[in-house]
Chain A
């Protein structure tokens, strides 16, 4: 089923993943924090009062899009973001509320938690992948793309 033309994207995916893991490893070993993006955003915007210093969280959250900007200088990056504002806003609300209630997102649970063999992170990751697959499948059947 895997198209041979996907070889290059898969390689780039793995390479990009390694950098994400190295970034999370630096946060853990140098500073002692979990590189969970939802938690860091909540901390940087003063929504959560966690132990991570606000300045540290803000620096990471500012660095992230700067890294993206750097790559866009040497490589064409064209994200296809939906123009349906209602869909984007609904999704955003669910992602914001859900990641706070569930204590993490793809990075905190999916990368940092799974690699630590945390049962909570395993349960969280399985749950959001299942509801994500269900949502995309329902949308495709309903003809909403």
Chain B
């Protein structure tokens, strides 16, 4: 049941991402091009996505447990540290270079598999490099 719910959630996420136009890197780069020909769409996507989630967090605080699992497994409050800022900064550079972040990259697997492959392989390598790097630090 858990697997089926996750699959359906993933499908809904993919549908939303695609109809919003954010699977197209050019549209994402146009949002980041604030000093050029700016396209504000991504801000509307974020606003649309945050609304149901505000409601969801309000409901979550009143629930003892999720509907289909035993506990909520959520990130615990932590201070803002250098890793968070440097990591997010590096992510933003990669996002700006390509117009791609993890969601749209995976979404493109079914509509432009060959074109997205170099990005996806490098992204997974980057994630793996982080794991190796953390073991050493």
A residues in contact (CB < 8 Å) with B? 1-2, 6, 9-10, 12-35, 37-38, 41-42, 45, 47-48, 50-53, 55-57, 59-72, 75, 77-83, 85, 87-107, 109-116, 118-120, 123-125, 127-137, 139-140
Distance (whole angstroms) from the CB of A77 to the closest CB of chain B: 5
Specify which chain A residues have a CB less than 8 angstroms from the CB of B7 in the assembled complex.
59-60, 62-63
Q: Is the CB of B3 within 8 A of A41?
A: no
Residues of chain B from 42 to 59 with CB closer than 8 A to chain A in the complex: 42, 44-57, 59
Q: Is the CB of B88 within 8 A of A91?
A: no
Q: Is the CB of B56 within 8 A of A63?
A: no
Closest to B82 in A: A101
Specify which chain B residues have a CB less than 8 angstroms from the CB of A78 in the assembled complex.
24
Q: Is the CB of B89 within 8 A of A98?
A: yes
List, sorted by A's number, 14 A–B pairs whose CB atoms are closer than 8 Å: A6-B40, A21-B48, A33-B73, A37-B101, A59-B3, A67-B13, A70-B11, A106-B95, A123-B84, A132-B32, A133-B32, A135-B96, A136-B96, A137-B35
Specify which chain B residues have a CB less than 8 angstroms from the CB of A47 in the assembled complex.
124, 127-128, 130-131
Residues of chain B from 28 to 71 with CB closer than 8 A to chain A in the complex: 29, 32-36, 38-42, 44-57, 59-60, 63, 65-69, 71
Distance (whole angstroms) from the CB of A143 to the closest CB of chain B: 12
Closest to A124 in B: B88
- Complex Cα–Cα for A119 and B130 (A): 23
Specify which chain B residues have a CB less than 8 angstroms from the CB of A131 in the assembled complex.
88-93, 95-96
Given A57-B6, A79-B111, answer yes or no on A91-B13 (Cβ-Cβ < 8 Å).
no
**Which secondary structure characterizes the binding site on chain A?**
helix
Query: Which among A14, A23, A45, A133 is the interface contact of B13 at CB below 8 angstroms?
Result: A23
Q: Is the CB of A68 within 8 A of B108?
A: yes
Q: Is the CB of B15 within 8 A of A71?
A: yes
Q: Is the CB of B18 within 8 A of A71?
A: yes
Query: Which among A19, A28, A67 is the interface contact of B56 at CB below 8 angstroms?
Result: A28
Given A32-B69, A98-B126, A128-B92, answer yes or no on A88-B44 (Cβ-Cβ < 8 Å).
no
